Amino acid sequence: MDSQDLIAPGGNFPATRWSVVAAVRSGDPNQRSRALDALFIAYWKPVYKYIRLKYSKTPDESEDLTQGFFIELLERDLLSRFDPQKSRLRTYMRLCVDSFVLNEIKHASRLKRGGDVRHLALDFPAAEGELAVQTIDPASIRSPDRFEEFFEKEWIRSLFSAAVEDLKTICAERNRQTAFALFDAYDLAETDGVSYSKLAAAHNITISEVTNQMAWARREFRCAAQRRLRELCSSDEEYLREARMLFGGGG
């Protein structure tokens, strides 16, 4: 895959060029609010699940630690210390989580709640439900490398889940709910046996129309995922590196 495949139609990078790394420190409340949304959506579930498994914490403890971590991230302006030349943002975030949790364990601190973390409702029961469905045995990922891999996979899961919600919104705004229904039934299905012919019959459309609508939905989903990824990267170079990892292909 050429790098041109990782940018938006027309030869431009995804339209969202700002980065949460800078925007969460913005004096503009609207920009800061948008950045916090992007940051929390991308990272709160990976952080929660990582704490639950790596540190064997209860759901309540993990909820408190997750909220406490994001409060500290903002209050201590930890993102200002991030150097994209040295690591990926998700690697830096994971190391910050480790440092925070170990410090809380060491000092048995009373965790704070509230602050900017309440800016976005964090659905902890949903995250706990996902862990239950995944049926992950913590003993099977005890090595540091496996936990790093787990955190990265959860980060990717969160990014793509957000892109699915973006696609759903786009389809609703453009009155293309059928396209989303087809995408949901075929690409997001957890069971086999779904075919274009069955979808055509179910929606009373032709197979050709199913093909066209699926192609449009996949293209919009890819663009949505690229936009989500771009706002989490601090430079075009970092974006291209991450996009190659997510979408495959060479330079």
The domain boundary residue, chosen from 105, 136, 167: 136
pLDDT of 250 reads: 43
Residue 39 resides in a domain: yes
Judge if 30 and 96 occupy the same domain: yes
Distance CA 159, CA 91 (A): 15
* Cα gap 99→134, rounded to integer Å: 26
55 and 104 together in one domain: yes
Q: How many helices (H) and strands (E) does the chain have?
A: 10, 0
Give the C-alpha separation, 35 to 26, whole Å: 9
Total count of residues recorded for the chain: 251
**Quick check: is 144 in a domain?**
no
Pair (11, 24) in one structural domain: no
In this predicted structure, which of 4-8, 31-35, 196-200 has the lowest mean pLDDT?
4-8
Q: Is residue 143 part of a domain?
A: no
The closest alpha carbon to 59, from 156, 147, 125, 145, belongs to 125
Q: Convert the pLDDT of each residue in 150-166 to its tens digit.
A: 999 999 999 999 999 99
Q: What is the pLDDT of residues 79-96, one digit of tens each?
A: 889 888 888 889 999 999
Confirm whether 5 is domain-assigned: yes
Do the domain assignments include residue 34? yes
Query: pLDDT (tens digit, 9 = 90+) per residue, 1-27?
Result: 444 454 444 444 444 455 787 887 778
CA dist 37 and 139 (Å) reads: 33
Is there a single domain that holds both residue 107 and residue 176?
no
Are 132 and 50 within one domain?
yes
- The answer to whether residues 70 and 167 belong to one domain is no
Nearest Cα neighbor of 147 from 90, 63, 78 is 90
**Who has greater pLDDT, 30 or 46?**
46
Q: What is the mean pLDDT of residues 35-52?
A: 92
Tell whether 94 is covered by a domain.
yes
- Shared domain for 132 and 24, answered yes or no, is yes
- What is the spatial distance between Cα 109 and Cα 145, in angstroms, rounded to a whole number? 28
Q: Which domain holds residue 178?
A: 1-15+158-251
CA distances from 161 to 16, 50, 197, 213 (A): 18, 18, 27, 20
Residues 3 and 32 in one domain: no
Report yes or no on 153 lying in a domain: no
Q: Which residue has the higher pLDDT, 251 or 56?
A: 56
For residues 30 and 130, membership in a common domain is answered with: yes
Asked whether residue 125 falls in the same domain as residue 232, the answer is: no
Whether residue 119 sits in one domain with residue 58: yes
Decide if pLDDT at 179 tops 60. yes
Cβ pair 217, 180 in contact under 8 A: yes
Q: Which of 146, 177, 158, 180 has the alpha carbon at shortest distance from 42?
A: 158
d(CA 159, CA 162): 5
Query: What pLDDT is stored for residue 122 in this prediction?
Result: 79
- 132, burial (CB in 10 Å: exposed 0-12, middle 13-18, buried 19+): exposed
Look at residue 8 and give its three-state secondary structure.
strand
Question: Based on the domain organization, do 114 and 38 belong to the same domain?
Answer: yes
**What total number of domains does the chain contain?**
2
On whether residue 87 sits in a domain, the answer given is yes
